[in-house]
Amino acid sequence: MSASTASGSDDDYRSRAQQSPLASQRAKQGGAPSEANSKGRFAGYFPLGYKEGFSQWWASIPAAAAEHRVLSFVPYLRQPPTQTQTDSAPPLSNGTPMPVSNDSSKEATPVKTSSSTDPYGPRYWHSNLVKLSGKNRALNEFSVERLNEVTDQNLVMLHGYGAGLGFFYKNFEGLSRVKGWKVYALDLLGMGRSSRPPFRLHAKDRQGSITEAENWFIDALEEWRVQRKIDRFTLLGHSLGGYMAVAYALKYPGHLNKLILASPVGIPEDPYAVNADMPEPENSTLTNEFTQDQDDTVSTSNPEIPESAKTGDKNNFLNARSKAAAAASDGQPGEKNTPTAPRKPIPKWLTYLWDANISPFSLVRWSGPFGPRLVSGWTSRRFSHLPPDQAQALHDYSYSLFRQRGSGEYALSYILAPGAFARSPLIRRIQGIGRQLIAPDGSVTSSISTAERRRENGVPVVLMYGENDWMDIQGGYAAVRKMTEERNNVLQNASAEERQNDHGFAKVMVIANAGHHMYLEGWEEFNEIMRKEMDEVSEREKRRSNSR
């Protein structure tokens, strides 16, 4: 695909895109005939009609074009740059991996905004493919930096399971307002529009497989950091990206000045998921991600969305809503005195597919022309609070990613058990963030004596949840307690100066009227909180530099 394909006009894009899942719902509400309206009870779960789905499958919008359309909704960026070097396309018929092109003609042209059109600028927007060592390894990168300013700090954003950097489209403009910061968003290796090399494990034991699967993602992030010559940065990870952010902080210490975990997966411990024989757990949180309606979590103001599109299954995993609002001791709302909801069994077929390493995206790929209709079951609920054109663009973007060749998704069954509980829960190790001994060369190798190594002086950790998040917020409060206990132990005999220089604070924050995707559902409050956290980093790092 040429670069011009991704940067074509919006009219050209819309001519290729068909009716959105929400359009079917609106037609049904208005009494207009629609194919989805005549297909029985399954239309409520998969609102896109068969003909509409076939049209979308036939149109086969390239992932680069779909990403370009989503990013066109970023304020002051109507013509975003979009690199097309990965030639993002569905699996090749011969089964070979998707190639990573070195064609310089496919490199995106950076876009600059002027002060006359950008009240918070001028800013420089860039899309790039960062090639890594090895065969077919590269990360898709989107960045924003402020012109005529010295970049003192860097923010790196990681998306969740099967998603892509385009999901942060409501955050790029707001977060890049902070002076002195450059904002990066990355597609994880094997996901989004990053390259999709075959995923293979060599470890034979359980823990070795878990570690190798984690390293597959975080080693790529570290190599990207080295290539970009970034010493220290703030890392934001959502859901699976939050899990990987913790794993990165533990394996590569000394490079983070703040860690922000947005509804991270894998914190709570579950006896089923950590069992060596792996009898799978009997309740599901991952199922909620694909079945919970958006209106269960977000108060929408879009008048064009009918009530039929707002009715969900009322999932409320572990009473997360009441936890966010309940009073508790020690200034942590919702930490105690909250009843536990009964467990919801996982369908046996889902457990079988998960153990067989068959992902939800495998089903989308195998379903061919029915793929868009399957995806509509997720997108019609996830994006129901958005204007129709944005919901349509995100549906097309999601489908264009879901149908890509399987790669990083196959690592998930080694990291998470069915139900999205971690096989190696983060609650067992999260207290090690910011507390490791580092050698002069920055490594954590044990071959160097303790006397030659220095201990990190803590990393601030912020855990963010939506008010109606299906992820268990109690895991966040438990993580804060573990990190606070570790800080108290480390500073028990510390001097006044050591206590003052320690930055190992942790806290939980709740985004009102939002669910698991609070960066999208409660984006205004999310951006405001993020700007304050970024300002705090800037002030602290200035004091740190002045004290040297």
Q: What is the pTM of this model?
A: 0.81
Identity of the amino acid at 426 = L
Highest mean pLDDT among 211-215, 292-296, 379-383: 211-215
- Catalytic positions are 239, 469, 516
Q: Which of 142, 152, 149 is nearest to 121 (CA)?
A: 149
DSSP H or E segment with residue 508 = strand 506-511
Question: How would you class 489 by CB atoms within 10 Å of its CB: exposed for 0-12, middle for 13-18, buried for 19 or more?
Answer: exposed
Check pLDDT > 90 for residue 252: yes
The phi, psi pair for 168, rounded to 5°, reads -90, 20
Position 359 scores a pLDDT of: 73
Check pLDDT > 50 for residue 150: yes
Question: How would you class 230 by CB atoms within 10 Å of its CB: exposed for 0-12, middle for 13-18, buried for 19 or more?
Answer: middle
The 10s digit of each residue's pLDDT in 182-239 is 999 999 999 999 999 988 888 888 888 899 999 999 999 999 999 999 999 999 999 9
Report residue 501's pLDDT band, with 50, 70 and 90 as the boundaries.
Answer: confident
Q: Which tokens go with 344? A: 């919801």
Q: Which tokens go with 532? A: 């304050």
Q: What is the distance between the alpha carbons of residues 406 and 244, in angstroms, rounded to a whole number?
A: 19
Q: Which tokens go with 542? A: 């200035």
What integer is the mean pLDDT of 138-165?
A: 95
| Total Cβ atoms within 10 A of residue 119 | 10
Position 428 scores a pLDDT of: 95
Q: Which of 481, 476, 478, 479 is nearest to 518 (CA)?
A: 476
CATH class as words, domain 62-89+103-266+423-547: alpha beta
Better-scored residue on pLDDT, 526 or 35? 526
Check pLDDT > 80 for residue 301: no
Better-scored residue on pLDDT, 136 or 303? 136
- DSSP per-residue string spanning 393-458: HHHHHHHHHHTSPP-GGGGHHHHB-TTS-BSS-GGGTGGGTT--EE-TTS---TTS-GGG-EE---
Share of the chain above pLDDT 70, in %: 70
Better-scored residue on pLDDT, 452 or 402? 402
CA atoms within 13 A on the CB side of 78: 5
Tell me the CA distances in angstroms from 236 to 2, 109, 157, 168, 262, one per residue in order: 32, 26, 5, 11, 7
Residue 49: CB partners within 8 Å, gap ≥ 6?
19, 24, 34, 35, 36, 39, 43, 373
Position 448 scores a pLDDT of: 52
The 10s digit of each residue's pLDDT in 236-246 is 999 999 999 99
Q: Which of 292, 515, 305, 308 is nearest to 390 (CA)?
A: 305
Q: What is the distance between the alpha carbons of residues 275 and 33, in angstroms, rounded to a whole number?
A: 52
Identity of the amino acid at 8 = G
Q: What is the distance between the alpha carbons of residues 249 and 459, in angstroms, rounded to a whole number?
A: 9
The 10s digit of each residue's pLDDT in 304-314 is 333 333 333 23
Q: Which tokens go with 484? A: 């606070």
Q: Which of 129, 138, 128 is nearest to 196 (CA)?
A: 138
The 10s digit of each residue's pLDDT in 161-173 is 989 999 999 999 9
Check pLDDT > 50 for residue 496: yes
Q: Which tokens go with 196? A: 């999709």
Position 444 scores a pLDDT of: 58
Where is average pLDDT lowest: 266-275, 279-288, 443-452?
279-288
Q: What is the distance between the alpha carbons of residues 232 and 235, in angstroms, rounded to a whole number?
A: 10
Q: What is the distance between the alpha carbons of residues 480 and 335, in angstroms, rounded to a whole number?
A: 11
Taken in order 393, 399, 400, 402, is the CA torsion positive or negative? positive
The 10s digit of each residue's pLDDT in 30-44 is 444 444 444 455 555
Position 98 scores a pLDDT of: 54
Taken in order 291, 295, 300, 304, is the CA torsion positive or negative? positive
Check pLDDT > 90 for residue 16: no
Q: What is the distance between the alpha carbons of residues 400 and 244, in angstroms, rounded to a whole number?
A: 24
Report residue 272's pLDDT band, with 50, 70 and 90 as the boundaries.
Answer: low
Mean pLDDT of the chain: 77
Q: Which of 247, 185, 255 is nearest to 226 (CA)?
A: 255
- DSSP per-residue string spanning 355-366: HTT--HHHHHHH
Strands 181-186, 138-146: pairing kind: antiparallel
